[in-house]
Amino acid sequence: STYSLDILYSGSGVLRRSNMNIYGASNGAMLHGLQVAIEAQGLESLIAATPDEGEEDLESFAGMSALLFDVQLRPVTFFKGYSDLMSKMFSMSGEPMNVVKGLILLTDHSEVIQLQSGLKASAEFQGGLAIDISGGMEVSLWYRESKTSVNNRGALVVTGNVTVDMDFMRAGVEVSFETEASLDFITTVQFSEYPFLVCMQMDKTTFPFSESVSKYESLSSGKSIASHKSKK
| Domain edges within the chain | 1-91, 94-231
Handedness of CA 51, 55, 57, 60 (dihedral sign): negative
Instruction: Give the span between the Cα atoms of 185 and 149, in whole angstroms.
Output: 6
With a cut of 70, say whether residue 63 has pLDDT above it: yes
Instruction: Give the span between the Cα atoms of 124 and 227, in whole angstroms.
Output: 20
Instruction: Give the span between the Cα atoms of 47 and 159, in whole angstroms.
Output: 54
Total-model pTM? 0.67
| Average pLDDT, integer, range 121-126 | 94
CATH number of 1-91: 2.20.50
Q: What is the mean pLDDT of the chain?
A: 83
With a cut of 90, say whether residue 212 has pLDDT above it: yes
| Residue 93 confidence (pLDDT) | 54
| Average pLDDT, integer, range 185-198 | 79
Radius of gyration of the chain (CA): 26
